[in-house]
Structure 1
Amino acid sequence: MNAMTRRIIIGTAAVSMALTMAACGKAGDKGSDNKDKSIGLLLPENATTRYEKFDRPLIEAKIKELCPDCEIHYDNAAADPAKQAQQVNSMITKGVKVLILDAQDSVGIKSSVESAVAKGIKVVAYDRLAQGPISAYVSYDNEKVGELQGQALLDAMGSKATPQSKIVMINGDPGDPNAAQFKAGAHKILDGKVDIAYEQTGQWKDTVANQKVTAAITQLGKDNIAGVYSANDGMAGGIATALKGAGINPPLTGQDAELAGLQRILVGTQTSTIYKAYKPEADAAAEIAVALLEGKDFKSIADTTATSGSGDSVPAKLLAAVSVTKANIKDTVVKDGLFAPAQLCAGEFAQACKDAGIQ
């Protein structure tokens, strides 16, 4: 073999090796493509502070911890069911493999869930149990939450909690299945113990709740209202304003341990809220989503079942909530670091925090 031949052979081998390496590189690039590791997250609204401040960042952080190369697609329905249906279609188009869905309308979203599942997407219902072929559900024991709220109202009313005592009941949005469960749990505790003289939906909006309670005050008379059940802190804010405007301050419940709600509890214009720690719920949803993505068993996380409004039995993780009053704010939300004392006790709330032992 002469020198020229050897150079041709070596040159050909080098080109062949380069092409092979390039092909391997392309294959590797395809393997690292995040399309097959994409998770969608759809939250229902942004009027309630929890979703953007806690749920979204906590879920995203846990997914990234468990699956660093996972791609996360996010959107918020802003309380618009039609918009959320469009967002599900967008997630399908983007090719997500798992969708964490907190439904704005648990019934209306059913066809969208069916469309997603038909495309091979696994759907995890978060906080609210959507109808349709759901793979898993993560939330709190919502009827128990209602029971805690009802009991907190009775406890705050004390000796005034009699079958003749009139209370106002402002429930959540009927499109939210959790609202029905909160309502059922509260009724279980309150029925027969007090007179639910006025009951309406506040649609999870402070303005609507304010209007409804203002109407209740006109209808019942301000001095005849012994207590107010509010299904969450957002509505309790509007209710507290209406009560203050009428010059009364009966016991008032809430839920979600929002900053404003906790501050109202400290100064005495709200008597209780329900603390549902966001991190355990967010972590469980992320863990299940990643397990579904990787084809792994998640039954150790979803250790019970729940039945949706469409009658489907769904593997579920149901966490326990805590009733919070001024007496235990320090040992619950402050201890868990939900809000720093400096944030909770700012300005006009400093003395109230000091009185509650929060420094």
Structure 2
Amino acid sequence: MRSTRIAAIGAGFTLALTLTACAGEGAGSGGGGDDGGEGAGEDATVGVAMPTQTYERWVADGNNVREGLEEAGYNVDLQFANDDIPTQSQQIDQMITQGVDVLVIAAIDGTALSGQLQAAADAGIPVIAYDRLLRDSENVDFYVTFDNYQVGVAQATSLLHGLGLVDEEGNEVDDAPEGPFNVELFAGSLDDNNAHYFWDGAMDTLQPYLEDGTLEVPSGQTNIEQAATQRWEQETAQERMENLLTSTYNSGQELDGVLAPADPLSRGIINALRSDGRGQTIEDGLPVITGQDAEIASIKLIADGVQYSTIFKDTRDLADQAVSAATAFLEGNEPEANDTETYDNGVKVVPSYLLEIHTVYEDNITETLVDTGYYTEEQVESGQL
């Protein structure tokens, strides 16, 4: 059952963190390399390990971290691993062998680098986990990220908002339709720790509506293992959506919404739905589809009324925070944390700095992305950088 309120695209809401800053408690030496915590000086080198260049945001992240570190006067060894775990392991091994003073790591698989983390600790090299938590090791000194549980909450809230069930801030509305609404659920890659936080935040938000029958999942695929998308690949999400349409919706059953945790997945889902003749835009039949990372191609789709929403995480701020943490270690200090309770990696709670997120809808693209200088109007109109 499709709500007539779907066409009313709401304004975005901001989920701001109100965490009190406190000092970090990292286990690193502070200085890295051979300086024994006394500060590495202007000749210091920071190793930056990013997962892939095939995902728009990681290219931007890598470049932003490199530029920030270079502006601070440090040398940078930036490597992309093309989503291949052995490649990333080798790259980090090489950085350690060459004597970098700090490591900034956005892991492909947060559980796959224990040997490298131990080698870094043995060499006195502090390790900063970048957006993806490094798990199952005590040798993680700091974590910079966004509030990933709240990302999931925001995605689910935007789905409910698109269905007319809540307002932009997640409050139930008086004239909400009764439903039931048919929805399908997608999750990220199981080897990415963030995917579990996204899922938990989203499912905690959706659960009351699933329990009272307002939302239904006709496929029955309601756990993260069933919904997962390995390596966050667009093609994998598209194939799963095609399979769902064939197995569950082949009799013309209506699909009202899709929880998608990232923009490449959203675009794959949209491709499958369009190919199945389920409309070209939300106005003429496409379900409400969420997203994340505010990729320019998806921002164009939102502007055109195709994708409903995305979560904007300003990676410029994330890069700045990584630079700030690295600088603190290089100067023999501890980075400032604003969360020392949430991110347990299985061995220790890693002191963290969490950044705020924003939900982007059609009518706040300019305010959120253009006015802040993240994109230009021309880029939004063309859907290209």
- When the two structures are superposed, what TM-score results if normalisation uses the length of structure 2? 0.77
Distance (whole Å) between structure 2 residues aligned to residue 213 and residue 45 of structure 1: 24
Among 40, 44, 47, which residue is 2:51 paired with?
44
Distance (whole Å) between structure 2 residues aligned to residue 99 and residue 35 of structure 1: 16
Equivalent pair of 1:163/1:195 in contact (CA under 8 Å): no
> Is 2:303 the counterpart of 1:303?
no
Cα deviation digits, residues 156-200 of structure 1 (max 9, x gap): 012587674221111110000000100110101111312234442
Cα gap change, 1:134/1:197 in structure 2, threshold over 3 Å: closer, same or farther? farther
Q: 2:233 — aligned with what?
A: 205
Q: 1:84 — aligned with what?
A: 88
> Is 2:131 the counterpart of 1:127?
yes
Cα gap change, 1:163/1:47 in structure 2, threshold over 3 Å: closer, same or farther? farther
> Is 2:363 the counterpart of 1:335?
no
The one-letter code of the counterpart of 1:149 is Q
Work out the number of aligned pairs and report it.
Answer: 311
Q: 2:256 — aligned with what?
A: 226
Equivalent pair of 1:88/1:116 in contact (CA under 8 Å): no
Whose radius of gyration is greater, 1 or 2? 1
Q: 2:301 — aligned with what?
A: 264
Higher relative CO (CA 8 A, sep ≥ 6), structure 1 or 2? 2
Equivalent pair of 1:227/1:251 in contact (CA under 8 Å): yes
Distance (whole Å) between structure 1 residues aligned to residue 111 and residue 177 of structure 2: 36
Q: CA deviation at 1:107?
A: 1.1
Cα gap change, 1:113/1:197 in structure 2, threshold over 3 Å: closer, same or farther? farther
Cα deviation digits, residues 275-299 of structure 1 (max 9, x gap): 0011111000011111101212322
> Is 2:175 the counterpart of 1:171?
no
Cα gap change, 1:197/1:319 in structure 2, threshold over 3 Å: closer, same or farther? farther
Q: CA deviation at 1:108?
A: 1.5
Percent of paired sites with the same residue: 31
> Is 2:200 the counterpart of 1:184?
yes
Equivalent pair of 2:51/2:81 in contact (CA under 8 Å): yes
Equivalent pair of 2:343/2:352 in contact (CA under 8 Å): no
Q: CA deviation at 1:223?
A: 2.9
The one-letter code of the counterpart of 1:218 is T
Among 225, 239, 243, which residue is 2:273 paired with?
243
The one-letter code of the counterpart of 2:348 is D
Equivalent pair of 2:156/2:205 in contact (CA under 8 Å): yes
Cα gap change, 1:129/1:272 in structure 2, threshold over 3 Å: closer, same or farther? same
3-state DSSP of counterpart to 1:175: coil
Equivalent pair of 1:170/1:201 in contact (CA under 8 Å): yes
Moved more, 121-130 or 187-196: 187-196
> Is 2:290 the counterpart of 1:253?
yes
Q: CA deviation at 1:80?
A: 1.2
Distance (whole Å) between structure 2 residues aligned to residue 108 and residue 102 of structure 1: 12
Q: 1:149 — aligned with what?
A: 155
The one-letter code of the counterpart of 2:233 is K
Cα deviation digits, residues 253-278 of structure 1 (max 9, x gap): 00000001101111111000000011
Distance (whole Å) between structure 2 residues aligned to residue 61 and residue 161 of structure 1: 50
Gapped regions of structure 1 (runs ≥ 5): 1-32, 350-359
Q: 1:5 — aligned with what?
A: none
Distance (whole Å) between structure 1 residues aligned to residue 130 and residue 65 of structure 2: 11
The one-letter code of the counterpart of 1:202 is T
Cα deviation digits, residues 206-230 of structure 1 (max 9, x gap): 0000000011111221533211111
Equivalent pair of 1:165/1:195 in contact (CA under 8 Å): yes
- When the two structures are superposed, what TM-score results if normalisation uses the length of structure 1? 0.82
Distance (whole Å) between structure 2 residues aligned to residue 172 and residue 324 of structure 1: 20
Distance (whole Å) between structure 2 residues aligned to residue 307 and residue 111 of structure 1: 21
Equivalent pair of 1:217/1:225 in contact (CA under 8 Å): no
Displaced runs of 4 or more, over 3 A: 33-36, 159-164, 196-199
Among 288, 313, 317, which residue is 1:276 paired with?
313
Q: Which has the higher helix share?
A: 1
